[in-house]
Amino acid sequence: MSIEHRVITDNEFANWRTLVRRAFNEHVHPDDIARLRDDRAESDRLFGAFDGDVLVGTGGTDSHVMTVPGGAELPTAGIAYISTIATHRRRGVLTGTMRKLLEQSRDREEPLAALWASQASIYGRFGFGQATVAEKWEIDPARSAFAHMPGTPGNVRFVSHDEALRIMPDVWKQASGLRAGSLDRSERRWRYNYFDDERVRGEWSGMFHVVYEHEGKAAGYATYRLSPPDGDVMKMSVHECVAASDSAHAALWRFLFDVDLVVSVSASAQSPDDPVWWMLADPRRLKRTPVDGLWVRVIDPVKALSERTYSSYDRLVIEVNDRFLPDSGGVFELETGTGGAMCRRSTAIPDISMSASELGATYLGGTRLSGLARAERVQEHTAGSVERFDRMFIAERAPWCGHHF
């Protein structure tokens, strides 16, 4: 029997959510099914794969806007909820689901799609490329002395959970405009991300919230949990540390490192160019583990390439081979100048050829095309065009995304 892919009904939502969590070897609490429906999910963007009446695969999309180089914000499909039941592997379930999700995004005129990959080997064939890098951090705070840091004229103070939820969205919006790869976060999603019930945090403490303020205005916040005490000491897990200024960033990390009775501070998904490394008197004490970050797919190259800014003025003809969405591929002429960028379809001979995955990897300016070329993932037809591409696309700051979906 063939697999049918379609938007799920309200009556199918609970089963759909259960299947998503089962794919990650987890059970789901009934209250969390309701919480996802109420505070995150978009019902018309949730797809199921059905073998007859049996749900065998899932996928869905969160609607976002992404900051791209230069500060423009483009509609972006946040692909999530991907699963295939173990009994139906290698039957085209995932392929069919991804096609439905990306076709819906194209119909909604979203030029970009993005995802966090649980397995890095899966999504290249669907046109996604690793566009950002993240780092996991761990440090003994006794070894966290700063030798260099900017001035911090403001102050850090504790706030309640409710006050934090009023303050954090504005700080997030300020900080998101500073870096390519940042995503917006809706009011519903703030509630979802900061749900702090004991059954989801386990034995760890509830969230502690602090904000950095200067002249009466919040410019940063940090949220963290503490482990159960081991004797008199405990560990800290930083949930988020978001700052709209260097002063706020330095002050918040200094505060986190100085919390009493803490013997380990850890954080996940930090930016690879974070200046904390350069502030430390002994940077070797900060254990940094790089992991792949956000994966990006360009659905509409004309729109996506025209809306971002570039670091040099040039003209390149780029061929994009898009096996999964052939209508999104083709030959594109990209020209940058004092008046901005212009991209259009072209019949000219290409300077460079690449797949949709390579375009996605380089789009935010954090991945060098020259590295992909040395891996024989890019074909250079005009001598020097890969180097010119790198000069055009490189971002002022490393792209990074602190929002998981």
> What single DSSP character describes residue 326?
G
- Measured CA to CA, the distance from residue 91 to residue 273 in angstroms comes to 41
Angle at 376 between CA 375 and CA 380, to 5 degrees: 125
In sequence order, which residues have a C-beta less than 8 Å from that of residue 305 and are 6 or more positions away?
Answer: 298, 332, 334, 341, 343
Q: Is 14 exposed, middle or buried (0-12, 13-18, 19+ CB in 10 A)?
A: middle
For residue 146, the 8-state DSSP code is: B
CA distance 381 to 370: 14
In contact, 238 and 256? CB cutoff 8 Å: yes
CA gap 121, 148 in Å, rounded: 40
Please, what sign has the CA dihedral across residues 344, 345, 346, 349?
A: positive
405 is catalytic: yes
Catalytic entry in 47, 81, 123, 255: 123
Query: How many whole angstroms from its chain centre is CA 189?
Result: 14
- Classify each residue of 182-211 as buried b or exposed e, where b means 16 or more C-beta atoms within 10 Å of its C-beta: bbbbeeebbebbbeeeeeeeeebbebbbbb
The DSSP-derived string for 81-102 is: EEEE-GGGTTSSHHHHHHHHHH
3-state DSSP: the chain helix, strand, coil percent, rounded to 5? Answer: 30, 35, 35
Residues near 374 by beta carbon (within 8 Å), at least 6 away in sequence: none
Name the token pair of 268.
């996940």
Tokens at 155, concatenated: 């102050």
Given the residues 50, 257, 310, 405, the one annotated as active site: 405
| Annotated catalytic residue 208 | no
Give the C-alpha separation, 91 to 75, whole Å: 31
Q: Which residues are catalytic?
A: 123, 405
